[in-house]
């Protein structure tokens, strides 16, 4: 009898691999019936990743979005699954254990049935609590392997991780081939070994199409015993995203597998609605390059979904790099030449940083290091002369064990800077925090919400949640949309909500924090609290510890980056400047006490 292969529509990841935002909840609810009517999906990836944060950036409540979006699929008997980042939960930096545990309780109550959990370093310790908390909340635990291609990422390496995940009690294993660089034959061998050793464990494959391997990989893992495949639909399939369900369904059918038929009328409706969402506003944040596949990704191994941010980064640095090239009498690099330089530099940097799988946030760390190397070398400086604090955290082992050894020059540089290496369980460095957030909500007069979902959201995304509650986020979003429409020459057909946006009152802050020291911008330019963060709300939250003389942010000038260095050590009590804003030299951007 033919073996059945089931499909999961990654509607959430389709959007977030293409651009900055996902559809609004009213749009998601509108497309859900057509997705159900397609009749070929047993699962849908409904939320997780940056889904909740994106809704906050809209100025909307993400808890409402998750409940309304998962409800029709639950009713239709289609399983919903979310993506979470293990130690980092739903954000880019570590999360206290009690906040992680609450996340699974909340998401289960909101209608999400499967928790896909991954660690970007494949450190099984970071997934242990994810497995335990998911099962405790009544969810299906699907622990994911971050797939990449390197000398250390062998089948034996991955099976060692699988052994620990099964020991912890995971129900399923996902192969998260985030850059699509997993070689089909290796992935087939890995799935065969998993099914042979653990026949009760279900396997689901997720592969992006950027470099072109994933279609072949899907056939290999299906033949090896995988039960589920992640697919997409036009107009967001292919390119840097995922293979389209029609092609994969027909390929597997021809190979003798049992697969559900696709209702083409419903497919065309999903296609039409998805395009309408792009035309409405989401397309303004989708880089055209994301619709193209490229074999250049084979060498550097970067996720295709990063192409948009990479191009934006190169545009920011292009002027400064070109200025340095002119000063040295060299040829000025075009944006395409810089892109090739960046890819080559990533190939150089990656093994020296211990081969971290190039997935969020470690793909960003590796790319940032490569970009700063190119910038440094254009100014006649040495490589690795500017490594940001988050990348140093990865290097030191604060986020988990790196798969491979660090290069001797990186180890020597760490010692020179007085940095210690860590071997303890990363979670131990982040004490429980829910009582702290519960008290702050009480002081603000905010309700913890149904199933404590508002408490969870505040604890997971404090700054974005505050901006949502104040109305700043909604005002900022509509301003950004207006600017993009104007730049594209499109008519301004936007009905903006009336939102009172709090203004910074420096005098009031001086009175409120009389012992605080003002932190000033060192030059005129673009304020960057973090070099590679496009989220306009990014800034150190109150309580963040900073050190005198150590950069707490940067100003991007026409000639390069200038560090923002506080004059005293202490904690941040207020920030006045937002990510991406233009600041004047000497302008106060923060207070430290």
Q: What is the pLDDT of residue 584?
A: 73
Domain ranges within the chain, ordered by starting residue: 6-290, 503-592
Per-residue tens of pLDDT for the chain, all 593 residues: 789 999 999 999 999 888 889 999 999 999 999 999 999 999 999 999 999 999 999 999 999 999 999 999 999 999 999 999 999 999 988 999 999 999 999 999 999 999 999 999 999 999 999 999 999 999 999 999 999 999 999 999 999 999 999 999 999 999 999 999 999 999 999 999 999 999 999 999 999 999 999 999 999 999 999 999 999 999 999 999 999 999 999 999 999 999 999 999 999 999 999 999 999 999 999 888 788 888 888 888 878 666 656 766 777 777 778 887 787 788 888 888 888 888 899 999 999 999 999 888 888 889 889 988 988 888 788 899 888 888 999 999 999 999 999 999 999 999 999 999 999 999 999 999 999 999 999 999 999 999 999 999 999 999 899 999 999 899 999 999 998 998 888 766 555 554 444 455 666 666 677 888 888 888 777 788 875 444 445 567 667 888 888 888 888 775 567 889 888 888 888 888 777 777 777 778 888 88
484 close to 284: Cβ distance less than 8 angstroms: yes
Collapsing DSSP states into helix, strand and coil, what is residue 576?
A: coil
Residue showing tokens 């209608």: 111
321 close to 363: Cβ distance less than 8 angstroms: no
359 close to 301: Cβ distance less than 8 angstroms: no
503-592 domain in CATH 2.40.50.100? yes
∠ CA 204-208-211 to the nearest 5 degrees? 135
Rounded to two decimals, what is the model's pTM? 0.83
The dihedral through the CA atoms of 87, 88, 90, 96 has a sign that is positive
CATH topology of domain 6-290: TIM Barrel (3.20.20)
- Report which of 349, 351, 395, 354 is spatially closest to residue 369, judged by C-alpha positions: 349
Q: What whole-number distance in Å separates Cα of residue 107 and Cα of residue 115?
A: 9
Whether 503-592 and 6-290 are alike in CATH topology: the answer is no
Beta bridge partners of 525: 583
102 close to 460: Cβ distance less than 8 angstroms: no
């Amino acid at each position: 009898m033919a073996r059945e292969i089931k499909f999961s529509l990654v509607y959430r990841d389709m959007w977030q691999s293409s651009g900055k935002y996902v559809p609004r909840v009213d749009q998601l609810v509108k497309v859900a019936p057509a997705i159900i009517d397609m009749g070929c999906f047993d699962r849908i990836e409904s939320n997780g990743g940056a889904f909740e944060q994106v809704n906050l950036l809209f100025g909307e409540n993400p808890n409402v979005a998750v409940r309304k979006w998962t409800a029709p699929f639950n009713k239709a008997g289609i399983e919903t699954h979310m993506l979470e980042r293990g130690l980092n939960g739903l954000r880019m930096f570590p999360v206290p254990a009690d906040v992680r545990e609450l996340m699974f309780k909340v998401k289960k109550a909101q209608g999400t049935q499967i928790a896909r959990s991954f660690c970007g370093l494949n450190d099984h310790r970071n997934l242990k609590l994810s497995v335990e908390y998911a099962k405790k909340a009544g969810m299906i635990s699907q622990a994911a392997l971050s797939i990449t291609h390197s000398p250390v990422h062998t089948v034996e390496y991955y099976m060692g991780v699988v052994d620990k995940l099964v020991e912890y009690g995971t129900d399923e294993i996902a192969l998260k081939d985030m850059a699509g660089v997993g070689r089909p034959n290796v992935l087939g061998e890995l799935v065969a070994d998993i099914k042979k050793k653990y026949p009760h464990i279900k396997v689901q494959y997720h592969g992006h199409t950027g470099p072109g391997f994933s279609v072949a990989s899907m056939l290999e893992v299906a033949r090896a015993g995988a039960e589920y495949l992640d697919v997409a639909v036009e107009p967001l399939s292919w390119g840097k995203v995922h293979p389209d369900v029609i092609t994969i369904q027909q390929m597997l059918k021809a190979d003798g597998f049992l697969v559900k038929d696709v209702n083409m009328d419903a497919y065309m409706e999903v296609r039409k609605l998805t395009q309408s969402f792009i035309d409405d506003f989401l397309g303004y944040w989708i880089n055209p390059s994301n619709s193209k596949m490229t074999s250049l990704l084979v060498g550097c191994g970067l996720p295709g979904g990063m192409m948009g941010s990479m191009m934006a980064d190169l545009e920011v640095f292009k002027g400064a790099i070109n200025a340095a090239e002119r000063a040295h009498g060299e040829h000025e690099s075009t944006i395409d030449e810089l892109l090739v330089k960046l890819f080559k530099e990533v190939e150089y940097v990656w093994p020296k940083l211990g081969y971290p799988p190039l997935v969020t946030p470690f793909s960003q760390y590796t790319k940032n290091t490569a970009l700063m190397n190119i910038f440094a070398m254009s100014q006649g400086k040495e490589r690795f002369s500017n490594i940001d604090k988050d990348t140093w955290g990865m290097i030191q082992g604060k986020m988990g064990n790196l798969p491979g050894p660090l290069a001797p020059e990186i180890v020597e540089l760490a010692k020179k800077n007085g940095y210690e290496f860590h071997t303890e369980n990363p979670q131990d460095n982040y004490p429980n925090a829910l009582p702290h957030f519960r008290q702050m909500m009480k002081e603000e007069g905010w309700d913890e919400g149904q199933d404590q979902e508002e408490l969870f959201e505040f604890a997971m995304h404090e700054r974005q949640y505050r901006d949502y509650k104040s109305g700043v986020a909604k005002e900022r979003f509509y301003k950004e949309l207006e600017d993009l429409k104007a730049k594209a020459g499109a008519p301004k057909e936007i009905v903006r909500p009336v939102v009172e946006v709090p203004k910074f009152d420096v005098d009031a802050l001086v009175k409120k924090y009389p012992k605080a020291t003002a932190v000033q911008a060192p030059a005129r330019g673009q304020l960057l609290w973090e070099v590679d963060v496009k989220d306009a709300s990014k800034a150190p939250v109150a309580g963040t510890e900073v050190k005198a003389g150590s950069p707490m942010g940067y100003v991007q000038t026409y000639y390069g980056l200038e560090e923002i260095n506080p004059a005293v050590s202490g904690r941040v009590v207020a920030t006045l400047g937002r990510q991406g804003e233009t600041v004047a030299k000497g302008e106060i951007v923060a207070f430290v006490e």
